[in-house]
């Protein structure tokens, strides 16, 4: 199996890049995910549940499993490296890796298997993860851009499916899929327009709380990967403790606002003007305001992720950067990756 570190995607010189095509295919990816999940045996899940992953896989598990915050079902989302080195549990453990090769995730689930039942969610059958768990789950889909935007939605829906089963919640995933499909087309030009006002930005903070905290983390990761701009995803209130000291006229503050964040978001937006920083508010008021009218907190997390993926993409396009490559067209960055992820380990 060749992917990620082992093989670069098709190289394109201009819009539309592969990342864009993957985002447009998100609804079809969700369909393929739900079809794959319907064949999964989840009967091994007992009274406790842990999700493991790294990076985008970790964020997707975090977003999808948050529905369990509505009920008193014990669950956790843990960075695979942390579990591998510092934890032990007998909870049913779900490991997620797009390629199925991420070494710390595979090693963590091998450790978990000594004390717990395990499942692995990957896009590649016969990958190391697929072959290391008690219950392998292969999503019959492919994400051809290194940014893995479509894979995020696939894995988030797989996590939501498992969380829904575990919590006996009967969440309407087909309706959520329809909402996402609508916004895949609707939000594209709006975020392209937003990016046109941000050419001078070289530092970005993405703020989120509650259901939007992992969205902030994931959005910052995608901005870094796609645009090479420094970005940090941070909890809404934590931002006010230290981050303001590095804000200036080249800083963008993205406020992902839920209903409970509106008043604080307004304060941060007003305060940012004193230091010359621009603000972009999703479902709030900023220098740039974007509204996607989510049906609930969970749908908001998915729609907000989509909007910020589009923003990352168009920021890259405007800077003549190929967002598919993670800078791997530069040999120095390929060499770095080869050290931290030797072939076959990412």
- Here the tokens at position 346 are 């990412």
pLDDT over 80 at 90, yes or no: yes
Contact residues for 134 (Cβ-Cβ < 8 A; gap 6+): 44, 113, 117, 118, 119
Quickly state the pLDDT bin for 6 (edges 50, 70, 90).
low
Taking residues 90-105, report their average pLDDT. 97
Q: Are domains 4-171 and 182-318 of this chain identical in fold? A: yes
- Residue 298 phi, psi (nearest 5): -70, -45
Query: How confident is the model over 142-184, as pLDDT tens digits?
Result: 999 999 999 999 999 999 999 999 999 999 999 999 999 999 9
Lowest mean pLDDT among 9-13, 172-176, 266-270: 9-13
Task: Output the average pLDDT for the chain.
Answer: 96
CATH tag, 182-318? 3.40.50.10490
Sorted by where each begins, the domain ranges of the chain are 4-171, 182-318
- Please return the burial class of 122, using the count of CB atoms within 10 Å of its CB with bins 0-12, 13-18 and 19+: buried
Quickly state the pLDDT bin for 1 (edges 50, 70, 90).
very low
Query: How confident is the model over 113-135, as pLDDT tens digits?
Result: 999 999 999 999 999 999 999 99
Q: Which CATH superfamily is domain 4-171 in?
A: Glucose-6-phosphate isomerase like protein; domain 1 (3.40.50.10490)
**Percent above pLDDT 90 for the chain:** 95
pLDDT over 80 at 325, yes or no: yes
CA distance 180 to 172: 13
């Amino acid at each position: 199996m060749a992917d990620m570190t082992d093989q670069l995607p098709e190289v394109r010189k201009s819009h539309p890049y592969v990342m864009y095509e993957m985002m447009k295919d998100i609804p079809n990816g969700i369909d393929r995910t739900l079809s794959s999940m319907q064949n999964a045996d989840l009967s091994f899940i007992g009274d406790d549940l842990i999700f493991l992953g790294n990076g985008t896989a970790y964020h997707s598990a975090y977003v999808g499993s948050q529905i369990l915050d509505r009920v008193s079902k014990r669950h956790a989302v843990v960075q695979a490296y942390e579990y591998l080195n510092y934890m032990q549990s007998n909870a049913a453990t779900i490991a997620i890796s797009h390629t199925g090769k991420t070494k710390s995730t595979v090693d963590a689930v091998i450790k978990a298997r000594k004390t717990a039942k395990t499942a692995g969610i990957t896009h590649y059958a016969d990958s190391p993860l697929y072959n290391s768990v008690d219950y392998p789950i292969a999503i019959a889909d492919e994400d051809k851009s290194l940014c893995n935007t479509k894979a995020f939605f696939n894995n988030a829906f797989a996590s939501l499916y498992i969380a829904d089963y575990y919590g006996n919640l009967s969440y309407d995933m087909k309706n959520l899929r329809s909402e996402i499909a609508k916004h895949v087309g609707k939000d594209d030009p709006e975020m392209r327009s937003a990016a046109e006002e941000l050419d001078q930005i070289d530092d970005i903070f993405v703020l989120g709380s509650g259901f939007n905290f992992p969205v902030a983390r994931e959005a910052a990761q995608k901005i870094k990967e796609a645009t090479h701009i420094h970005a940090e995803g941070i909890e809404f209130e934590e931002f006010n403790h230290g981050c303001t000291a590095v804000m200036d006229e080249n800083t963008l503050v993205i406020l992902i606002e839920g209903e409970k964040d509106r008043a604080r978001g307004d304060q941060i937006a007003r305060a940012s003007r004193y230091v010359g920083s621009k603000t972009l508010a999703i479902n709030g008021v900023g220098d740039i305001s974007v509204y996607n009218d989510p049906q609930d907190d969970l749908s908001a997390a998915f729609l907000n992720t989509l909007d910020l993926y589009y923003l990352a993409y168009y920021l890259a396009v405007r800077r003549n950067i190929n967002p598919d490559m993670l800078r791997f067209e530069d040999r120095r960055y390929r060499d770095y990756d080869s050290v931290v992820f030797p072939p076959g380990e990412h």
